[in-house]
Amino acid sequence: MSALIHPSAYIAPGAKLGDNVRIGPFAVIEDGAELGADCQVGAHAVVHGQVKMGDGNILHPHAVLGGLPQDLGFDPQTESWLEIGDNNVFREGFTAHRATKAGGATKVGSGCYFMNNSHVAHDCTVGDKTIFANNVAIGGHVEVGNNVFMGGAVVVHQFCRVGSYAIVQGTTGINMDVIPFMLIGGRPARHYRLNIVGLRRAGIVGENYKVLSSAFRLLKNKKSLDQLQSTEELQYLKEWLAKDSKRGLHGFVDISRED
């Protein structure tokens, strides 16, 4: 099925549209942009020419993808990209910028939901099935894992990492790394406990959950995780912790109970 394009929309000759793409009034799709099948672009939304996206993505009105990085030293002639997977939702006013380095890409996975006025800066990586609530903003070179929930108005400093299955309390300012599987919040931000609800929804229960619970206590007391039974989640956690960090880790709340 061919694309359904409103007569007021502007589609550049060099744009590539998949089957059954729908483009709303006054939307702009620039030369070089690639949209997969079944994508929807709302009124006044803009897809710049350096965007490559998969199937089933939905852009609500006034979303802008692939704009110039907010980096004063960036040369607009640099060829870089914003790469997006499948079945993401970008609500009104969402923005994501392309990368700063030649040949580089800002990357968004699949199945994510970005609420009103949230922002993904240049050179970031966002995993699959992650949710940004309203007004979340992540700085350049931030890494966000899979199945992360970022509460309203969360702000993340550049070069920070947020591990998979973490949940960040609304209005929290993040300037260090957030450990996978955990809930973080407060001012200053501190790890409180495991993301119990998120883990249950992901099917991380029983012995797998108990191993993570033990890992939380060991990390809080600055002890090794090597004594624990190996699980897929623990292996990911250990590999994540072993990677170099530019910011270090946020600390833990000083409470006697984990959950």
Give me the active site residues, please.
122-123, 140
Cα of 43 vs its chain's centroid, Å: 24
In three-state secondary structure terms, 203 is coil
β-strand pairing of 46-47 with 64-67: parallel
Cα–Cα distance list, 107 to 19, 52, 183, 200, 249 (Å): 23, 10, 24, 27, 23
Give me the amino acid identity at 8: S
* Residues forming a β-bridge with 144: 126, 162
* 3-state SS string for 142-158: CEECCCCEECCCCEECC
Supply 184's token pair: 């973080």
